[in-house]
Amino acid sequence: MADLVLAVDIGGTKFAAGLVGPDGELVSSARAATPPDGDAESLWEALDALLDGLGAPEDVTGVGIGCGGPMTWPSGEVSPLNITGWRDFPLRERIAARFPGLPVRIHNDAICLAIAEHWLGAGRGSDNMLGMVVSTGVGGGLILGGRLIDGGTGNAGHIGHVVVDPEGTPCRCGSRGCLEAIARGPGLAEWALEQGWTPGARADDGEGLYQEAVTATARRLAGDAAAGDPIALAAMTRAGRALGLAIASATNLCDLDVVTVGGGLSQAGPLLFDPLEKALREHTRMDFAGRVRVVPASLGQDAGLIGAAALVLAADRYWSAR
């Protein structure tokens, strides 16, 4: 079992851990729900128990961690927006103490997803790509010249705060009109409700009965858009257009080959990607920018673990902090 790396993926709804082989294959994995309203130590205890249950061998060669931000990087004190019990929590230090003598490396979870798609997924073979996640938030990671670009604080590629509408929706960051404010799932559903959307109004089980519990979620919004609800369709078009504008700006700035888009909202397919593509082509008129391709991410729920492991297994491309 030599050359295995322990990968950890910290999210607001679940903790995941896995053993990843040298070629990126996920050998084993375990998941557990993130304790709701847990304090710092109960959250750590839940993660510690998950690692115990995984049965990580003593001869793992390193540990890679992906975690929601913000965080101090590369030291790894984390304050995930969706995990209120951890504020300036020394996650990397705690895990390093559990695995003394091993390299323990941490990065933003969206960056880890981008790394995974570049290493083994839809961006494989491209030296210049942006990997995006569109879900409860919008984040990303930037690969240029075949290497991860960290920026001054480890936040390069954070496309969620590219401004696509200066007079638009207020963002949680304090600005206005950020891509995240418009295209993140909960914000998109909220906008649709403000326009008069009735969740599930177009849904039917074939006999005139709607039996599924109706909630105002982005998944329900996409379902209603597919069923022809005009407000839901307008919401998806609005999100797709905002994504296209942001990707166009990133492409014009960074001369990208490919952009991969993952996360829950990306499952909407053409409802999102068609208006995205239209806006993108309207704003990439230079020949070099017009060649960019936007494709769905391909690695699914394992991408976070694979990307975290790459911080150790492919450090020459994805880890610059020393």
Per-residue pLDDT 10s for the chain (322 aa) are 458 999 999 988 899 999 999 999 999 999 999 998 899 999 999 999 999 999 877 779 999 999 998 999 999 999 998 899 999 999 999 999 999 999 999 999 999 999 999 999 999 999 999 999 998 889 999 999 999 999 999 999 999 999 999 999 999 889 999 999 999 999 999 999 999 999 987 655 444 333 333 457 889 999 999 999 999 999 999 999 999 999 999 999 999 999 999 998 999 999 999 999 999 999 999 999 999 999 999 999 899 999 999 999 999 999 997 6
Domain assignment present for residue 117? The answer is no
pTM: 0.91
- Domain range for 180 is 122-298
Identity of the amino acid at 265: L
Distance of alpha carbon 110 from alpha carbon 134, whole angstroms: 10
Residue 115 maps to a domain: no
Q: Are residues 136 and 103 in the same domain?
A: no
Q: Are residues 160 and 48 in the same domain?
A: no
Alpha-carbon torsion (80, 183, 221, 9), positive or negative: negative
Q: What's the total number of domains in the chain?
A: 2
Residues 214 and 180 in one domain: yes
Helix H or strand E encompassing 261: strand 258-262
Q: Are residues 79 and 166 in the same domain?
A: no
Q: What CA–CA distance (Å, rounded) separates 312 from 62?
A: 6
169 to 13, 133, 196, 221, 296: CA distances (angstroms): 26, 20, 17, 19, 26
What CATH number has the domain bearing residue 240? 3.30.420.40
The edge-to-edge listing of strands for the beta sheet with 26-33 is 26-33, 14-20, 5-10, 62-67, 104-108
